[in-house]
Structure formats: structure tokens, C-alpha cells
Amino acid sequence: YSRFIPNMSTMTYPLRKLMQKDRKFEWTSSCEDAYNKLKHEIVSDRVIIPFNPELPVTLATDASPTGIAAVLSHNINNTEKPIAFASRALSDAERNYSQID
């Protein structure tokens, strides 16, 4: 589902921390929030349109302290329609990198 849910890696960060080796499983309010947001996104009516090589394309990227994300969109009638989403969590080493605009 990560191709269809924007910023999924950042959204699920509290949940992924629960699965780390040698870490005590502790369900927190941030875990509950992440779970509810993810559940909402999975069942949402978000419309993904197929790629059309004839239409203009926009690539938007974003970075946070815990993950990076991108959305590829078509611009149809001055409205961006998502084609695909990409996101992933940053490794421990990557979290030390500076974020440059």
C-alpha cells in the first residue's frame, strides 16, 4: 500500500519502532494515532489515476526526521491528481543527515 498512501513511512514510524530488536513492546498514544491514521488511509476513497504520457507530470518530494516521500501527479485542469506515492523510513545513519531544501 505504500505506493498509494502518502508519507506512509513517516506515518508508521511509531508502529515500526515497536518491532525493533531488543525493544520492549509498549503501545503509546503515538502508536494509537499512527494506527488510526493508517487505517483511515487504507479505507479512504483516494483516487489514483493511471499514468498518461500525454499529460504533464509533477514530482513533489518531502523529507522529515524519520522518512522521505514523493508523489507523482498529473496536472489536469489545474488540479493535481496522484499517479503514485513513494515513501520509506530513514535508517539510523540517514537520520543524522541534514535536511537541505
Q: What is the pLDDT of residues 36-63, one digit of tens each?
A: 999 888 767 666 788 999 999 999 998 8
pLDDT recorded at residue 3: 66
Arithmetic mean of pLDDT over the chain: 87
Q: What is the mean predicted confidence (pLDDT) over 92-97?
A: 90
Contact yes or no for 44/4 (Cβ under 8 A): no
Q: Domain map of the chain by residue range?
A: 8-96
pLDDT recorded at residue 43: 67
Q: Does domain 8-96 have CATH number 3.10.20?
A: yes
Contact yes or no for 85/3 (Cβ under 8 A): yes
Q: What is the mean predicted confidence (pLDDT) over 2-10?
A: 78
Q: What is the mean predicted confidence (pLDDT) over 10-29?
A: 92
